[in-house]
Amino acid sequence: MKLHPAWLASALLALSVAAAPALGGQTTRDGKPVDALASNLALPFASDLNGARQAPVFAWIEDVAGARNVWIGGPDIPAHPRTAFAGDEGIELSEPQLSQNGRRLLFVRGGDAEFPEANVPNTGITLETPEQALFVADVAGAQAPVKIGLGHGAAFSPDGMRVAYTRKGEIWLWSGDAAAHRLATVTGSVEDLQWSPDGRQLLFIEQRKGHSFVGLLDVEQRSLRYIGPTLGQSSDPIFSPDARQVAFLQFRDPPADVPDSSASFWSVRVTDLASGVTRSLWSAPSGEGGQFAGTRGRNLFWTASGHLLFPWERTGWMHIYALPAATGGTPRDLTPDANEVETFTPTPDGKAIVYAANAGNLDTRQLWRTAIEGGKPARLTQNDFFVFRPVFGGDRLAATATDAQRPAHMVLVDGMKPLGPVAIAPSYSKPETIVFTATDGMPVHGQLFRGKGPGPHPALIFVHGGPRRQMLPAFNPMHYYSNAYVRNQQFAVLGYTVLSVNYRSGTNYGRAFREAPGTGRDGASEYRDVLAGGRWLAKQPDVDPKRIGIWGGSWGGYLTALALARNSDLFAAGADFHGVHTLVRLGDASLSPDAEIKARALQWQSSPMGSIDRWKSPVLIVHGDDDKNVDHDQSLLLARELTARGVPFEELSLPNERHEFFRYGDWLASYRATEAFFARMLKAGK
C-alpha cells in the first residue's frame, strides 16, 4: 500500500514521539533538561477502534500532542495514517467507520463527539468556527478524504455505496454521484442511526424531552413511523438478521423519593415490522437488577443464532445474558464468573461472545470468550496488559491495550501483536493496588504512586470524575484519565506520594458499590472514602501529614472542593478542575413541597457551598468557559464566594475550551499550573 508523503511524515512523527525519553533528569542532545510532563502527555494515544464487518481491516484515531489523525491497519495492512492533519488545533476527530467490505472509510472532523448537537467548539480560537463535517475516503486510496456534508452519526449502507447521517434533527443521504439531500426532519435529535440488512430502511433513536422513540425510515418509500412508543426511554434498537423484526430496550428511571425501589423498570421488546405489533419479550423481575444499567458499549445484539444478548445485574454484577428471540423465556447468564462486564460483542458467526471484564481481579481488565450455548469461558489475554473494548474486523479480533508504561494502543488479540505504533514512558513503574476501609466499613480500592527520593514526602489524593469510573494501575483507555495518569506519575517523580481513590459510586465493584446509598446530592457518602484515603496517607511513615493536598476534575473537582470546605485541617491545598460546587436542583415533580424542601436542604449540605464558611486552604480553580458537562458558572460562583471570605485561590480560565480539553496546550498549561501551585503550597519552606 503506497503512503502519501504527508501521511508518512505523520507516522514518523508519531514514532519519534513514542521513542522520546521520559526519564526525569535526563537531557536532550543540546544539553537542555527533558520536559517529561510535556513529552509523556504528547505520547500517541489511540481510541475509537472500529472494524469492517467482512474484512480484517481496522480504523482508529491517534492523538499525538493534539494532532489527531485516522489510522488504518490490519493483519495484512501495515498501520498508517489515512489523514494528514497537523498541529494542536483543538479540532476533534471522531466516529471512524469502515464499510462492510473494508474498502471505504468515514469519519467526523469538528464538533464535540459527546455533545454532537451542541454549538460547534472553537477551542483553537480561530477567526472562523470550524465546521462539524463528515468525510469519506477509499481505504487504499491516495486521494485526500472528501467532505460529504455537515453532520455526524453516519452509517454506511450494506453495499458501502451510500451514507446516511444526521444533523440538528435531520436525516441526510449521500450517494457519491450527487450532492447529499435531506430525507427527513424530526422533532428531536437522531442517535444510533443504522441500515437494515437489505439496505432499504434506516433505524434510529429519536431523543425528545425526557423520553425517546425508535424511528424507522423507509428510504425507498420515503415514509417514517415510530415503533412501540412508550412513556419512557427506548434504546439500542437492532434489526433481526432477516430485517423483519426490530428489538429494543425500554426503561424508565425510578421516582426521586424511592431510589431503592425493587420494582421492574425495564424490558426487552420486539416489533414485527409487517403488522406493527410490539410485544414485551421479557421484563426484568422486581428485585436486584430491576433498574436498567448498561455497559460502556452497545447493550443489545440479535445474533445469527437467534439470540438476543443484553446486560443485566440480577446477581448484583453486570453480566451478559442470552434470550431466545423466538420464544423468550428466562435469560441465561453467559458470564457468571466475570465479576463485572464492561463491554461485549458477539462473534461474527453469532455462536459466542467476547467480553472485557475483571474476572478474578477487580482492579484489572482482560478479554474472555464464551459460547452462547454454554461452556466454560476461555481467557484470551494475560496479566501483562489491561485490555478493553473488543472489536471484530472480519473474523479477526482487535482491542485497546494499555499497561503501566504504555498508553492506549491497538492490538490484534491473537498474540497481542500491535496494530500500530506503541508509545512508552520507560521511567514509569506500576502503581501499587491497595485497599483501605472507610469509617462505615466500606472497603475502598486505590492506586498508590510512591514519591521518589527521601521522605517525608508531601502527598496528594487524586479523585476521578464521572463518578461512574474506575482508575487502574495503568494508563487509562479514556484520554482524560490517561492524561491524569501521566500527571500522577510525574508528581511521584517530583517526590509526591499520590493515592488515587476509587470511591463508592464508581464502577466495576458491583451494583451495591455503584449505587451506594447517600452519594452525591443525597448525602455525599462517597466523601467518606476520600477522607479515609487522606487519613490513610497521613498515617504512612514516609508522608508528612501536614503537607497533604487533593486534586481532581469534574466530580473529582466537586470532591476536591468538598474536602477543602469540610477538612482544611487535613487537606492543605487543592486543585479543582471544572468541579461542581452547588448540587441544589430546583423543582422535582415527584416530590411533595415539604419533601422538596428537605431534599434541597440535603443537597445544600452535600455541596461544597454548604460548608464554605469552614474553607481555609488555598485552591487552584481551572475551568473552560465552553464546558457542556459542568457549567462554567459553578467556578464563577466559587471564585466569588472565596473572594468574599478571604480564602486564597489561584485561577486558570480557558476561553472556548470544553470539559475534556480539546487542546494539548491547555492540558499542559493546566498541569504545569497545578504543579507550580502545589510546589508553592506543599513544598515551599519544607
Contact 385, 403 (CB under 8 A): yes
Class level of CATH domain 432-681: alpha beta
CA nearest neighbour of 217 among 200, 235, 198, 237 = 200
pLDDT digits (tens, 9 = 90+) for 516-554: 999 999 999 999 999 999 999 999 999 999 999 999 999
Stretch 317-321: mean pLDDT? 98
Query: Is 256 within 8 Å of 269 (Cβ atoms)?
Result: no
Region 304-313 average pLDDT: 96
> At residue 260, does pLDDT exceed 80?
no
Task: Please check the confidence at residue 420 and state whether its pLDDT lies above 80.
Answer: yes
> How many CB atoms neighbour CB 27 within 10 A?
10
Q: Are 388 and 400 in contact (CB under 8 A)?
A: yes
- Give the pLDDT confidence score for residue 383 in this predicted structure: 87
At position 99, the amino acid (one-letter code) is: S
pLDDT of residue 177: 77
Gap between the Cα atoms of 455 and 570, Å rounded? 19
**Per-residue model confidence (pLDDT) at position 601:** 95
* pLDDT for the residue 23: 37
Q: In the CATH scheme, what is the code of domain 1-185?
A: 2.40.128
Q: What is the pLDDT of residues 436-473, one digit of tens each?
A: 999 999 999 999 999 999 989 999 999 999 999 999 99
- Report d(CA 87, CA 109) in Å as an integer: 14
Tens of pLDDT along 135-152?
Answer: 999 999 889 999 999 999
pLDDT-derived band at 7, boundaries 50, 70, 90: very low
Where along the chain do the CATH 2.40.128 domains lie?
A: 1-185
| pLDDT for the residue 684 | 67
State mean pLDDT over 551-579.
Answer: 98
pLDDT band for position 277 (cuts 50, 70, 90): very high
Structure letter (DSSP) for residue 451: P
What mean pLDDT comes out for the span 421-430? 95
The mean of the pLDDT values for the chain is 93
Compute the average pLDDT of residues 96-125: 97
Q: Is 134 helix (H, G, I), strand (E, B) or coil?
A: strand
Other C-beta atoms within 10 Å of 336: how many?
A: 12
Query: For 39-75, how does the pLDDT look when each residue is reduced to its tens digit (9 = 90+)?
Result: 999 999 999 999 999 999 999 999 999 999 999 999 9
For the stretch 606-640, pLDDT in tens is: 999 999 999 999 999 999 999 999 999 999 999 99
**Percent of all residues in the chain with a pLDDT value above 70, rounded to a whole number:** 94
pLDDT band for position 262 (cuts 50, 70, 90):
confident
Position 178 confidence tier, pLDDT thresholds 50, 70, 90 = confident
Q: Which residues pair with 81 in a beta bridge?
A: 71
Where do you find CATH 3.40.50.1820 in the chain?
432-681
Taking the chain, what is the end-to-end CA distance rounded to the nearest angstrom?
59
Over range 105-122, report the average pLDDT: 96
Q: What residues have CB less than 8 Å from 346, skipping those under 6 apart?
A: 301, 303, 309, 352, 353, 372
Model confidence band, residue 28 (pLDDT cutoffs 50, 70, 90): low
* Residue 12 vs residue 423, higher pLDDT: 423
For the CA atoms of 652, 655, 657, 661, the dihedral, rounded to the nearest 10 degrees, stands at -30
**What's this model's pTM, rounded to 2 decimal places?**
0.94
The DSSP output letter for 483 is: H
Instruction: Report the number of secondary-structure helices (H) and strands (E) in the chain.
Output: 9, 40
Instruction: Report which secondary-structure segment, H or E, holds 556.
Output: helix 555-566
pLDDT of residue 571 exceeding 70: yes
Q: 457-513: per-residue pLDDT in tens?
A: 999 999 999 999 999 999 999 999 999 999 999 999 999 999 999 999 999 999 999
Tell me what the mean pLDDT of segment 78-104 comes to.
97
Which residues 6+ apart lie within 8 Å of 483 measured at CB? 41, 667, 671
